[in-house]
Amino acid sequence: MIRIQNLYKRYHNHHGSDWVLRDINLEIPTNVSVGLVGRNGAGKSTLLRLIGGMDSPDRGEIVRDCRVSWPIGLTGGFQASMTGRQNVKFVARIHHNGDNNLGELMRRVEDFAEIGEAFDEPVKTYSSGMRARLAFGLSLAFDFDVYLSDEATAVGDQVFRKKASQAFKDRIGRASIIMVSHSEGILRELCQAGVWLHQGQAIWFDNINEAIEAYHQSAGITRPQSKNAQKSPFPAPGTSA
C-alpha cells in the first residue's frame, strides 16, 4: 500500500508560488492499477515523481509499504559518457536484489530496448527515442511491486508502443501500475481505479471510467462513456478534501 498524507507541493519561480498539489490524502491499495487524469499542469507528473521518490513534498509525507519503481522512461539518470551497457550494469549493481542473474538481467534490457550495436556506444550519441527505449527496458528488468509510468507507452514507433503496452499487461496480477497517459484507451485497458487531479486537489474513483468522466465534465469535453465501464470491486481509499 502507498499512503499519501497531508501532501503539499509547489515550485518557486518568478510567476509566483501557487500550490501544484494541496493537502493530498490518498491510500493506493496493493495490486490496484491507477490512472492519473487531469488537465495539463494539474500535477499528474509531479505526483508521480513524488510517489517514486524523485522529488520531495514541501509538506506531508508518502509512506510506501512496497517496492516502487522510478518513473519508467526516465532518462535523466544516465551518465552520458558511458555506454548503454555500462549504464545498465551500474544501475543493476545498485538495485539488484539477487533474484536474477546479472547477465540475464543485462540480456533482458538489451533485448527489450532493441537499439542494436548502440547498446555499446556512449549514451550521449543516442537519440531521445533510443534513450527512452533503454530507460523503459531497464525499468522493466527489475521486479517492482508498483511500476510508475509517465507516457511510457508513447515511446518509439507503433511496434515498440505495442510491445510496451503488452509488457505492462504481463505484469498486471503480480504487480500494479500508477500511470499518466494522454491515451484514455490505455488507461481504460490497464487501470482499474483513477485519481482526478483538479485545482490542486486529488479525488479518488474506484473506477477509471468515472475518473475520466469527471475530468471530461470539468473540461467541457463531451464523449461517450466506454461500453465496458463496470462498477469497481475495490474499496475507496481516502480522498483529499
Q: What is the pLDDT of residues 100-153, one digit of tens each?
A: 578 888 899 999 898 999 999 999 999 988 888 898 888 888 889 999 988 766
Q: Per residue in 78-91, pLDDT tens?
A: 899 999 999 999 88
Q: Which pLDDT belongs to residue 188?
A: 94
Cα separation values, 169 from 125, 151, 165, Å: 32, 15, 6
- Fold for 1-67+147-159+177-241, please state it: Rossmann fold (3.40.50)
Q: Which pLDDT belongs to residue 234?
A: 45
CA separation for the pair 192, 208 (Å, rounded): 6
Domain boundaries, the chain: 1-67+147-159+177-241
pLDDT by residue, tens only, the chain of 241 residues:
999 999 999 987 766 678 999 999 999 998 999 999 999 999 999 999 999 998 999 999 999 999 998 888 666 678 999 999 999 998 888 776 555 578 888 899 999 898 999 999 999 999 988 888 898 888 888 889 999 988 766 666 778 778 878 888 888 778 999 999 988 998 999 999 999 999 999 999 999 999 999 999 998 876 554 444 444 444 444 444 3
Residues 6 or more apart in contact with residue 15 via CB below 8 angstroms: none
pTM of this prediction? 0.81
The C-alpha cell at 43 is 500535477
